[in-house]
Amino acid sequence: MQRRGATLRVLGLGAVLALALTACGGEKSTSGGGQAGTQQGGTLVFAASADPVSMDPAFISDGESIRVTNQIYEGLVKTKAGSTEIEPSLAKSWTSSPDAKVWNFELQQGVKFHDGTPFNAQAVCDNFNRWYNFKGLLQSDSVSYYWVSFFGGFSDKKTPSLYQSCEAKDDDSVTITLTQPSASFLAALSQSAFSISSPTALKKYDADKISGTADEPKFEGSYGLEHPTGTGALKFESFTANDKVVLARNDDYWGAKSILDKVIIRTIPDLPARRQALEAGEIQGYDNADPGDVEALKANYQVIQRPAFNVAYVGFNQKKKPLDNIKIRQAVAYALNRDALIKAKYPEGSVVAKEFMPPEVQGYNDSVTTYSYDPDKAKQLIAESGVKNPTIEFWYPTSVSRPYMPDPAANFQAFKSDLEKVGFKIVPKSAPWRPNYNNATQSGQAAMFLLGWTGDFGDADNFIGVFFQKFSPQFGFENKEIFSLLDNAERETDPAKRVDLYKQANEAIMKFLPGVPYAHTGPFLVFTKNVKGYIPSPVTTELFSTVSLQG
């Protein structure tokens, strides 16, 4: 009996103690912040929306993992800060054979991996051969996505591969041979997936060891989460699941060393929670800020916008009637008031799209056929089409916000009312983004739908090549002219001719109208005012090594 009373008192005490701690915890300063007035050193805490899946660049395709591997690793080439232009990285220079099949790279000398292993031509070939020889589950699109999407197959030759061989001529020069001409090879190499890992560390920490049954794959090695080893200006220090990745300055870096001592990338999945963490002083920056927050944040923080590298579009599946009718597709294009939508629902800095790729990418055609808002013309086209009371199933995703489509339901409502005004009957269809909606659009179940794309690297092939180079159930059409224009463009090695082919392709696409592109948006990053030197990149290859904390 006495005990029970004591328990009650303890419980009461607990509550009091908790309140007391609340009151006295205030004086502890928040993390980060370099010393007053100095530029060198300090710790930056940046919020990410998820843990990295792995820090083995060959096995990842999600943005949060790539953000980390960009800091730790380097590839042969990279994109120039703030643009999609290719510049040297671990390769000082390169030449290619006239048919763009044989590529010679001269490498930087005196570079060491974070584990002390020297970087040389053999290390480059070890990496390429590692990727080419992936077996079993490692060949899955969800594991080696970038290899599969750019190089195609593997050494088992089940599907053809663009990669043929790698030869280390001496320590500082390496030759990579392709099976076919590829003009987008260099641009593709700038992707984080093709960064060079320390061959010693790969082996020592069993990077490729995978076991388990077919439906329960298991990555057994510890390379990706515990020992990622590259040559970058920041090196891996620690990873705590559901909490943070800690990166530290690589004092032996061959190029310009990191200004910061440490960068902590903290996992905060909830977007409003990221904003509050910034306002409470727990972090100094985060990515993909809610466009609705931007105005309010500008007063006390720096808001940086990335150049647009995406496209939002209304897609048509031509297997579904009446979308096989060009007049109907044109009528939809003229009926959509895209300007009004972008003005009302999109963040500042967004632009109305004219074609299926952003203006930053070479091959963009300024003078494609356009379809500016004209409801009367839409009505007339419907009349000409011969389709009486056209009815269209219009799909939009729920539980998702994409950079190119912050609020899909709002886009849907606006477009639906535009279409109804000119006489279309719209049947609304919605599904949760993962996985139902993606499944419905990709498998060709959806007739008309809202979708978009964010580029992986700065090449037209990565936009219109992905969409329209061959038949896809999503769009459901065969168009020999477009397919062959894109095939030729992909193989063309003369840059000027290549740009011209892509321009022609863009015009052909906009005439044929497989969909209506409507927006390019630039995502927002927010930082505290003392953070300097963060250079936004359209392909999100920003480096923390150039960042400093002031004041």
Partner 1 sequence: MLKFTVRRLIQLIPILIGLSILVFIWIRALPGGGPAEALLGERATPEAVARIRDLYGLDRPLWQQYLSYVESVARLDFGQSIVSRRNVTTEIGERFPATIELSIAAMIFAAGVGIPLGFLAAKRYQGALDQLSVAGSLLGVAIPVFFLGLVLKYVFAVRLHWLPTVGRSDATSTAPHPTGFYVLDALITNDRVALVDSVRHLILPAIALGTIPLAIITRITRAAVLDVVNEDYVRTAQAKGLGPRVIDRRHVLRNAMLPVTTIIGLQTGLLLSGAILTETVFAWGGMGQWMYQAITFRDYAVLQAGILFLAIVFVLVNLVVDLSYAMLDPRIRVR
Q: Closest CB to partner 1 among 19 and 340?
A: 19
CB of 116 to partner 1, least distance (A): 24
Residue with tokens 């899955």: 140
Q: Closest CB to partner 1 among 70 and 430?
A: 430
Return the CA Rg of the chain.
26
CA distance 330 to 261: 56
Helices 408-421, 326-335: crossing angle, 10 deg rounding: 110
Q: Closest CB to partner 1 among 48 and 485?
A: 48
Residue with tokens 């808002």: 373
Q: Closest CB to partner 1 among 1 and 496?
A: 1
First to last CA, the chain: 61
CA distance 528 to 551: 11
Q: What token pair was written down for 266?
A: 């903290």
CB of 136 to partner 1, least distance (A): 7
Q: What token pair was written down for 274?
A: 């990221």
DSSP state of 38: -
Beta partners for 86? 79
Beta partners for 107? 91
CB of 59 to partner 1, least distance (A): 8
CB of 13 to partner 1, least distance (A): 8
CB of 228 to partner 1, least distance (A): 14
Q: What token pair was written down for 97?
A: 């054979």
Q: What token pair was written down for 348?
A: 């500042």
Q: Closest CB to partner 1 among 176 and 210?
A: 210
Residue with tokens 């998702």: 400
Spell out a b/e string for 240-271, using b for 16 or more CB atoms within 10 Å of the CB, else e: eeeebbbbbbbeebbeeebbbebbbbbbbeeb
Q: Closest CB to partner 1 among 143 and 336?
A: 143
Q: Which of 191, 194, 180, 183 is nearest to 131 (CA)?
A: 194
CA distance 320 to 444: 9
Q: Closest CB to partner 1 among 36 and 214?
A: 214
Q: Closest CB to partner 1 among 89 and 161?
A: 161
In degrees and rounded to multiples of 5, residue 56 shows phi and psi of: -90, 110
CB of 211 to partner 1, least distance (A): 10
Q: Closest CB to partner 1 among 15 and 496?
A: 15
CB of 440 to partner 1, least distance (A): 7
Separation of CA 484 from chain center: 27
Kindly give the pairing relationship between strand 391-398 and strand 448-454. Answer: parallel
DSSP string of 40-87? S--EEEEEESS--S-S-GGG--SHHHHHHHHHH---SEEEPTTSS-EE
Q: Closest CB to partner 1 among 456 and 492?
A: 456
CA distance 420 to 400: 25
Cα distances (angstroms) measured from residue 479 to each of 322, 363, 450, 515: 18, 20, 22, 14
Q: What token pair was written down for 391?
A: 């009815």
Q: Closest CB to partner 1 among 276 and 372?
A: 276
Reduced to 3 states (helix: H, G, I; strand: E, B; else coil), residue 247 is strand
Q: What token pair was written down for 494?
A: 């003369």
Q: Closest CB to partner 1 among 40 and 398?
A: 398
Please, are residues 462 and 455 in contact by the beta-carbon 8 Å criterion?
A: yes
CB of 442 to partner 1, least distance (A): 5
CB of 55 to partner 1, least distance (A): 11
Q: Closest CB to partner 1 among 18 and 299?
A: 18
CB of 45 to partner 1, least distance (A): 5
Q: Closest CB to partner 1 among 35 and 443?
A: 443
CB of 197 to partner 1, least distance (A): 17
Please, are residues 239 and 261 in contact by the beta-carbon 8 Å criterion?
A: no
CB of 291 to partner 1, least distance (A): 19
Beta partners for 524? 305
CB of 137 to partner 1, least distance (A): 5
Please, are residues 541 and 310 in contact by the beta-carbon 8 Å criterion?
A: no
CA distance 491 to 57: 27
CB of 439 to partner 1, least distance (A): 4
